[in-house]
Amino acid sequence: MTNLPEDELREPFIPPSSDSSGPSDSAQQQAAAPSPFCENPAASELPAPSISYPPSTSLEPPLFHSYAQPPIRRPVRIPNFGHLLLLSLLILIAFSILIIALALASHFHLFGLQLSSKSATDLGFNLASEGVLYLATFALSLFVFPMIWNETLFAGLEWRGRSAITQFWALAGTASACFGLALVDQILMPGPANAPIEKMLSSTGAAWMMFAFGVTMAPFFEEMFFRGFLLPSLSTACDWIAEKKTGSPPRPLDAEGHPQWSLPAMIIGSVLTSIPFALVHAEQQGHSLGPFLLMIVISMILCTVRLKTRSLAASTLVHATYNFLLFSSMLIVTGGFRHFDKL
């Protein structure tokens, strides 16, 4: 403890406006000395250095700009010939799966299956094999093409089922017109008497199997290949060749990113699509000229429906309805597929 009084330890208090007591000597010296915080600019401020920078002529991108911005990709017209070749590869893979499945089933006698020379002429075996091939190809396509197109298979092929439903009666009328053309063709240029398709309809069970297959799986997968892949690929190829020859810019895509083909490209693509479509069905009609020309006309109508409506479902509906009318007429003529001699 200290002996100094408590008041002596405190600092002296000087009131700011007191006139009775003057400042101390030290306070006077501090007041006389120049202060570094003086407000006189002439006495305290030093001239600031003048630094000039050249004007910037280019804007430099920020750091990691290439990682922050997504890469710019040119629009791809789908489906194109590359996608068509990929589909062909998937068909080969599906065919290999079918051969392996049939070999295993025959070896272990699954479902009573035993391959023989008669299997090639058995309608049930042929339809089942064709159905497995279709389904395997479809399953592979559902998995592969969305990874390439960044959209579903049905969106890339412009399925648009709602559009087909809203135009149902117009499409049904188109199928009825196709059926009328088939009747006229049968009168003017009839096919052979013993066509292979008539031999396949030699029994009631076989006829009903053909009826069911012809209005469901066959039109769906045929349209997916011919009007879903082949027709757009050929139309795109025609426009691409014309652009390269003339030096014109690529045709713009629509709002959904699908190509808009020129009229000459659509006509050429439809003709080139219809020829292989007719060849596929030529064997069923005994390679007769009349049914062959009819299939070309029917295919041209299906291509027109697909291109005008921009809906693969629309051409599939016309195809299925046309087949339904054909088999229904055969059903009526044969009395429920019991009297095939009336065909």
Same-domain status, 139 and 284: no
Q: Is residue 237, in this structure, part of any structural domain at all?
A: yes
pLDDT for position 158: 96
Residue with tokens 């007591």: 21
pLDDT for position 8: 46
Do residues 193 and 290 touch, judged by C-beta distance below 8 A?
no
String of DSSP letters for 244-286: HHH-PPPPPB-TTS-B---HHHHHHHHHHHHHHHHHHHHTTTT
The residue from 133, 155, 177 where one domain ends is 155
Same-domain status, 104 and 235: no
CA distance 156 to 259: 11
pLDDT for position 255: 85
Beta bridge partners of 253: 259
Both structure tokens of 303: 């291509």
Same-domain status, 186 and 315: yes
Residue with tokens 């390439």: 148
Beta bridge partners of 259: 253
Q: Is residue 322, in this structure, part of any structural domain at all?
A: yes
Q: Is residue 178, in this structure, part of any structural domain at all?
A: yes
CA distance 131 to 150: 28
The residue from 155, 172, 200 where one domain ends is 155
Same-domain status, 139 and 227: no
pLDDT for position 18: 46
Same-domain status, 288 and 336: yes
Q: Is residue 85, in this structure, part of any structural domain at all?
A: yes
pLDDT for position 108: 73
Same-domain status, 264 and 337: yes
pLDDT for position 23: 47
Same-domain status, 195 and 219: yes
Q: Report mean pLDDT in 10-residue bins for the chain, 343 residues.
A: 48 51 49 50 54 56 56 73 96 94 77 61 81 95 95 96 96 97 92 74 84 95 97 96 92 88 96 96 85 96 97 98 94 83 69
Helix (H) or strand (E) holding 27: helix 25-32
Q: Is residue 311, in this structure, part of any structural domain at all?
A: yes
Same-domain status, 279 and 167: yes
Helix (H) or strand (E) holding 219: helix 217-223
Same-domain status, 189 and 322: yes
Name residues whose C-beta falls within 8 Å of residue 221's C-beta, 6 or more positions apart in sequence. Answer: 134, 137, 138
CA distances (Å), origin 113, targets 100, 107, 162, 205, 313: 13, 9, 41, 18, 36
What is the extent of the structural domain holding 99?
81-155
Same-domain status, 148 and 242: no
The residue from 155, 171, 189 where one domain ends is 155
Q: Is residue 45, in this structure, part of any structural domain at all?
A: no
- Indicate if the alpha-carbon torsion angle 167, 268, 223, 177 is positive or negative: positive
Same-domain status, 196 and 272: yes
Q: Is residue 50, in this structure, part of any structural domain at all?
A: no
pLDDT for position 103: 83
Name residues whose C-beta falls within 8 Å of residue 155's C-beta, 6 or more positions apart in sequence. Answer: 149, 256
Same-domain status, 117 and 266: no
Structurally, the chain folds into a number of domains equal to 2
CA distance 298 to 293: 9
Do residues 286 and 196 touch, judged by C-beta distance below 8 A?
yes
Q: Is residue 106, in this structure, part of any structural domain at all?
A: yes
